[in-house]
Amino acid sequence: MKPFKARVSVLALISPGLLVAATGVGAGDLATASFAGSLLGTAVLWAVLWGGFLKFVLTEGLARWQLATGETLLEGAGKRLGPFVGWLFLPYLLLWSFFVGSALMSACGVTLHAIFPVFGNATTGKIVFGIVSSLLGLALVLAGGFKLFEKVMGFCIALMFFIVLLTAFLLWPGTAEVMQGLFVPSIPDAAGVGITWTVALMGGIGGTVTVLCYGYWIREKKRQGPEDLRLCRIDLALGYAMTILFGVAMVIIGSRVQITGSGAGLLVTLAEQLEGPLGPAGRWIFLIGALGAVFSSLLGVWQSVPYLFADAWRLFVLRDTEKGGLINTTSGPYRWFLWGIALIPMAGLLVSFKEVQKFYAVIGSAFMPLLAVLLLILNGRRDWLGNLSNRRPTVVVLLATLIFFGGMAWAKWMN
């Protein structure tokens, strides 16, 4: 293995990991962490720590596959497991993209309306601002490609990280209490839903489908061989450390107030509750940080998920099984999907799809155990990965991930 590259700027070192962290933190993650904190207090901070660790292991596994073989995980699965992988993945990606796109537009719309209440009706504000946010994200991706995307995301990440950590610091419950919550696992019995919300907190840390985009971002940074694995592990560790800190901060914030509601609306309620201990400035500051979080997630999805569609289109529709390089962001498949994800989910701002959303929640929670299975199979072959194949500790963690997230999917299906 070649020596570690010393002459690397800090941004180049941590950029892909930060992109994974920022894209994976959406309104749902913020709401889940704050509501769990309000209901269970700081006793469940350990769940944030372990949730982030599990996502780190999964993302490191897909990076290890790509650096060892030169193939994205989609390429590897399609070539070695058969084309049925694509025909399962493509419908899932379309369904996931619609509901996630709609949820992100809604989150941006609700948050912007809370900051700029120029419409008398909150629903109108959500729709108008949600559409504006989507079109702004579309324009940024079309105008600047990966470099502009990286810069805008850097600004949003700094904004949300600073504000949320500052808010948690101002509401700090005490170092001893936080340390106990992080390193002494316990689950308070809160009206019989303590386990449910603890599991939701672990599952809500990081992203789902967006972790696959890490492979395309490291290609943009020209990481191509096993010698870059150490660099990937460092930037992923930093990225998920930020995700964990962010989740811990949101649990602490939630533990200091009593909140109700769900989704993006819960963030607005939380901001209003913070006006008591922090004053009017606290409400405004928190809303700005929340906007940085939800818009960075929207922008990350708009820029990266079309990579997945373009790659899947090439592999499973055009049947081009050669190793791919950088995704051409001016190609038809990438642009079709970018325009589609920016426009079609706008319909979700107008109507409610409760039953379909329940089905989406099931397949959404099923993605992580499926990814764990894929990494157990592909990365378990020494003839494919050589010395980078799974070691026993990794296998144990992947099996634990499979059991945990598989249990989540089963619970959602039964409910």
pLDDT per residue rounded down to tens, the chain (415 residues): 444 444 445 555 557 888 887 787 766 677 778 888 888 889 989 989 988 898 899 999 999 999 999 999 999 898 888 888 888 889 889 988 988 888 889 889 988 998 898 888 888 888 999 999 999 999 999 987 777 888 888 888 888 888 888 888 988 999 999 999 999 988 887 656 677 777 778 776 777 788 898 999 998 888 888 999 999 999 999 889 988 998 899 899 888 877 665 555 667 777 888 887 888 888 888 888 888 888 988 999 999 999 999 999 988 888 877 766 778 888 999 999 999 999 999 998 886 544 444 455 555 666 788 888 999 999 999 989 989 999 999 999 999 888 877 776 666 555 5
Q: Which residue has the tokens 């889940």?
A: 32
- Helix (H), strand (E) at residue 130: helix 122-170
Q: What is the pLDDT of residue 415?
A: 57
**CA atoms in the 13 A half-sphere facing the CB of 124:** 6
CB 323 within 8 A of CB 75: yes
Whether residue 107 is contained in a domain is answered as yes
CB 114 within 8 A of CB 266: no
Which of 22, 6, 16, 14 minimizes the C-alpha distance to 63? 16
Task: Kindly state the tokens that stand for 287.
Answer: 């809303």
> What single-letter DSSP state applies at residue 345?
G
Name the amino acid, one letter, at 207. G
Whether residue 254 is contained in a domain is answered as yes
Q: How many CB atoms are closer than 10 A to CB 264?
A: 27
Name the amino acid, one letter, at 127. I
> What single-letter DSSP state applies at residue 391?
P
Q: How many CB atoms are closer than 10 A to CB 237?
A: 14
Whether residue 18 is contained in a domain is answered as yes
Cα-based distances in Å from 378 to 75, 302, 371, 404, 405:
11, 28, 10, 20, 19
Whether residue 14 is contained in a domain is answered as yes
Range of the structural domain that residue 220 is part of: 10-414
Whether residue 70 is contained in a domain is answered as yes
Separation between Cα atoms, residue 68 and residue 65, nearest integer Å: 5
Whether residue 400 is contained in a domain is answered as yes
Q: Which residue has the tokens 């909140």?
A: 259
CB 213 within 8 A of CB 307: yes
Cα-based distances in Å from 381 to 81, 154, 266:
13, 37, 45
Task: Kindly state the tokens that stand for 145.
Answer: 């490609």
Specify the number of domains making up the chain: 1
> What single-letter DSSP state applies at residue 262?
-
Continuous H helices in 256-351: 263-278, 280-312, 332-343
Task: Write the CB contacts of 354 (distance below 8 Å, at least 6 apart in sequence).
Answer: none
CB 102 within 8 A of CB 95: no
Separation between Cα atoms, residue 207 and residue 192, nearest integer Å: 27
Whether residue 172 is contained in a domain is answered as yes
Which of 112, 101, 142, 125 minimizes the C-alpha distance to 347? 101
Task: Kindly state the tokens that stand for 238.
Answer: 């930093």
Task: Kindly state the tokens that stand for 181.
Answer: 């919550």
Residue 212 CA, chain-centre distance (Å), reads 10
Which of 400, 402, 395, 379 minimizes the C-alpha distance to 63? 379
Whether residue 4 is contained in a domain is answered as no
CB 295 within 8 A of CB 156: yes
Q: What is the pLDDT of residue 207?
A: 72
Task: Kindly state the tokens that stand for 28.
Answer: 């749902």
**SS3 category, 133:** helix
DSSP secondary structure string, 18-29?
HHHHHHH--HHH
- CATH number at 129 reads 1.20.1740.10
DSSP secondary structure string, 392-409?
HHHHHHHHHHHHHHHHHH
Which of 95, 92, 202, 193 minimizes the C-alpha distance to 415? 193
Name the amino acid, one letter, at 209. V
Q: What is the pLDDT of residue 59?
A: 93
